[in-house]
Structure 1
């Protein structure tokens, strides 16, 4: 268990209650939950190798007004159809002028804070799991000759903000991502690793047990409907259309409070909709479902571990469209438009042709640990686990 700090940091326990042998600093970012989930996975694996870790939020490190502005700009771009696609594909991926301006502006805030953190407590390893964190880490690397800098990016098309000459190691989750890193850093040292999945997804309840706990009929058609911690897309309209077609819908709003309220209102008139806000019961909800309907992201790996096919909502522009294509290539996934009529038709067709397997584990915790150890060995930091 880690302790949260007022500055958005989290710290892992020291070894045996004393001073740790090794220290690592992780730079995450609070846009959605994906970055934090990956930071937690890295912190756990580093702890197995004798590291004490701190995790800092790159956005919160920028300060209240600057950090809020960063999230506000991103949300604003998502709200304008086509805008984030234009910025991502014309600026972020090739490293255009706007990309360079974002890097310079964020580093003005982040670099002094990062210098202070490293002055107060030096580290052996600095892992950036957020693009602006990677840019700041590159700028302080030369001041800490013994510090190894690493970047962990789960996007398939690693854009320019992630890649910097002073990075010692890149961790990516596909061969395509490795090629995008080398677009900007041809000599880069890269490790292709599985997407880490949290332990509860490897030990879910049976479908029968999960449905009994959720009071869902054993013979019902049931889907899990969610779209990241922001609840992107018309989830209320989709849940209504599916419920009216006779499908039970486990509808998760994530941290979107407004969406959670609207789902609760819908459930009052459509009892086949079972609403949730932010919840740690996702393994149970996946186990109860026949199909997982979601946007591209870490949820896809979690569903595959539990053994559920995916129907992907095309609602995340920019890097989300890149990642959606990768998930389709990985298999056991289809894509749908997010309007209610298209979603209803796609879900009913998917339910007709797929039945959840009793067991279909894709990857294991050991596979991640072995790959992570191999990555650390490239920079002479591995010591077994």
Structure 2
């Protein structure tokens, strides 16, 4: 049986492990954190990623998710810029990140071994395979959804730490990927977007179906989860690494139910937002390939980051099943994700404008664009309707 090492056990990493296992590979997963899990709040699962999960046999996504609603866009005072009725867009389903991560992990079988508390420190490759060097902060845990094999990749422990050997390495170790740094030290790495994001889950019932609100240098969005809780997110122009702000004060004067959502939130996650500048590095380096944020980290403005990682895993599975060279993975995924990185960055630039005049012009253009999109959507429905 062919062997692979997946570095990183986030959503992209566990999906890649499922894909590899279903292609007949034994997989060793190396995760730096002491325990598996996802930190975060809600997540949008778009149709393309949902299709990949269905192909991989991941069950329960539809039951755990709520179909997103086209709720439109407002100004900070509640006045509509684009109303829901004017939008004719494809919608994702919404669920909690931790739920999605667990549903994917449940699909892992006995050919997957997981080692937590393990940090990769070196990668070398030759014509026969790849050797990964790693250190462990605690005894590594082995297993998967069930019991794992003794070693999906051959391993040994020496004075410099553990060594793992396999035919393929998938680097799914995030935006600050250590493996990407080892492969291309000249790459500048993450760039700061200019704004910080806040996220949370509100334990409150509201009649408002959600949507986004744009102000001057600040944005706020929210959506309902299937259990009735509200996932919300917000952004504000800030210097990186600053002290935690009181998000309740930042949005205290915004329209309802925003203050109510913040008041009903127990814990707030704060993250400075970074992405990877284009041109992106090649996703394939010999027997090592980049996946997810390690390859194409993007700002969250389109809600496509985790979904793109899932779609990466789906593309990898198709390439392996077809017996194609790994370069086919790069040829499919790098152009597609480059477009998303650029588009998401541009949306952030527009969304975070803080000049009063610039925001007035922006809102007017968006309002006109919404009306045009609505007319085009209605036209498509007429054209597609049976005679």
TM-score with structure 2 setting the length: 0.29
Give the helix-richer structure, 1 or 2.
1
| Greater relative contact order structure (CA < 8 Å, 6+ sep) | 2
